[in-house]
Amino acid sequence: MSPTKGLTLLNGSQLSNNIALAKRIMTGIVLGCLLLQLAACSEAPPSVLGTVERDRLTLTAPVGELITRVNVVEGQQVKAGEVLLTLDSTSANARLALRQAELEQAKAKLSEAVTGARLEDIERAKAVLDGANASVKEAQRAFERTNRLYATKVLSQADLDTARAARDTSLAKQAEAEQSLRLLENGTRSEQLEQAKAAVAAASASVAIEQKALADLSLVAARDAVVDTLPWRVGDRIAAGTQLIGLLASEHPYVRVYLPATWLDRVKAGDKVNIRVDGREMPIAGTVRNIRSQPAYTPFYALNERDRARLMYLTDITISAEGQDLPTGMALAVELP
């Protein structure tokens, strides 16, 4: 073997040893990285994904009417009490005018019952009673004359009966006139007053109902919110119960996540959690507000151990002050305690 050839073989052996050594070093580095990653994963708290939500407010049509005005557009910020949309109020105004007229009529009847009879009516009743008294006196004298003549056989029994009937009739008319006068002087009965008051109360309630119906034709924002959906325009005629405007409340956002069934015994309402948001180094504090009692997904008929682990429970988490500006629908992660 020549010296040159032996040197070549020696260099090849050294090269093989170097390659093997490099492989062992790389294998050690990879295994070390995997161990570090496993250690980091074991130390990191478990988390679930969720989205930022806000209360949704739905404004529906109280009656079937024509839309006469739309004051907002989708995406607009509105304040509590601001009028968003108005429906035609022609029919509502007519019904309100009718109920107000009925109320005035009921009040007039009550006033009449409280005031009692007019002085002219009382004087007329007295005059009628005076006439009845005069008729009674005349009929009584006529009966007495007829009775004397009947006793002397000048007049017959029929004449006596006629005189007696005339006297009794005049006495009845006198009693009627006395009662009519007494009725006017005593005034309205307490029961009639109560009926008149009840009629006024009923008419007032009818007016209040129509006023409420008229006010409902102007749809108003109950809270500070953002207009989310507005599918209708001026001139559209809608049916009663149709959704007209959808709002998203501006305040008090919360996180909605799906909690695995395996964590139900470890996470309770009131627990503190950390909310991780992309782009923010520090987590946002949150509080578990509510965990639904029923699973969000349809349960299986055979709830074995594998199937139970797949059930998810809808959970709401309140966001602290530093997260009030998070946009609705933003995806984030919640670290479980």
113, 175: one domain:
yes
Considering 212, 239, 261, which residue would you say is the last residue of a domain? 212
201, 272: one domain:
no
Distance CA(74)–CA(246), nearest Å, equals 9
Q: Which residue segment(s) compose the domain that 161 sits in?
A: 95-212
150, 192: one domain:
yes
Q: For residue 34, is it within any domain?
A: no
Within 10 Å of residue 82's Cβ, how many Cβ atoms?
15
Number of domains present in the structure of the chain: 3
Reported for 199-205, long-range contacts at CB under 8 A and 24+ positions apart, including other chains, are 199/106, 199/109, 199/110, 200/103, 200/106, 200/107, 200/110, 202/106, 203/99, 203/102, 203/103, 203/105, 203/106, 203/107, 204/103
139, 208: one domain:
yes
167, 244: one domain:
no
106, 170: one domain:
yes
Q: Six-digit token pair at 199?
A: 């009629």
133, 231: one domain:
no
Query: Would you state the pLDDT for residue 80?
Result: 94
Considering 212, 229, 261, which residue would you say is the last residue of a domain? 212
Q: For residue 241, is it within any domain?
A: yes
CATH number (domain holding residue 300): 2.40.30.170
Within 10 Å of residue 327's Cβ, how many Cβ atoms?
8
Model confidence over 201-249: pLDDT tens digits?
999 999 999 999 999 999 999 999 999 999 999 999 999 999 999 999 9
CATH number (domain holding residue 233): 2.40.50.100
190, 128: one domain:
yes
Model confidence over 271-311: pLDDT tens digits?
999 999 988 889 999 999 999 988 876 555 445 556 656 77
DSSP state of 261: G
279, 330: one domain:
yes
Distance CA(277)–CA(330), nearest Å, equals 9
- Whole-prediction pTM value? 0.63
Q: For residue 2, is it within any domain?
A: no
Considering 249, 269, 297, which residue would you say is the last residue of a domain? 249
Q: For residue 208, is it within any domain?
A: yes
Contact present, 118 and 188 (Cβ < 8 Å): no
Q: For residue 325, is it within any domain?
A: yes
Q: For residue 21, is it within any domain?
A: no
Distances (CA, A) of 154 to 138, 165, 245, 261, 327: 21, 19, 102, 121, 119
117, 185: one domain:
yes
Distance CA(314)–CA(259), nearest Å, equals 6
Distances (CA, A) of 133 to 129, 239, 280: 6, 72, 107
Give the number of residues written for the chain: 337
206, 101: one domain:
yes
Query: Would you state the pLDDT for residue 6?
Result: 42
157, 244: one domain:
no
Q: For residue 292, is it within any domain?
A: yes
Distance CA(124)–CA(181), nearest Å, equals 9
Mean pLDDT by 10 residues, the chain (337 residues): 41 53 50 45 70 93 95 94 96 96 93 77 82 87 86 83 88 87 74 89 96 95 94 94 94 90 88 90 92 72 57 88 89 88
Please provide the distance, in angstroms rounded to a whole number, between the alpha carbons at the two ends of the chain.
74
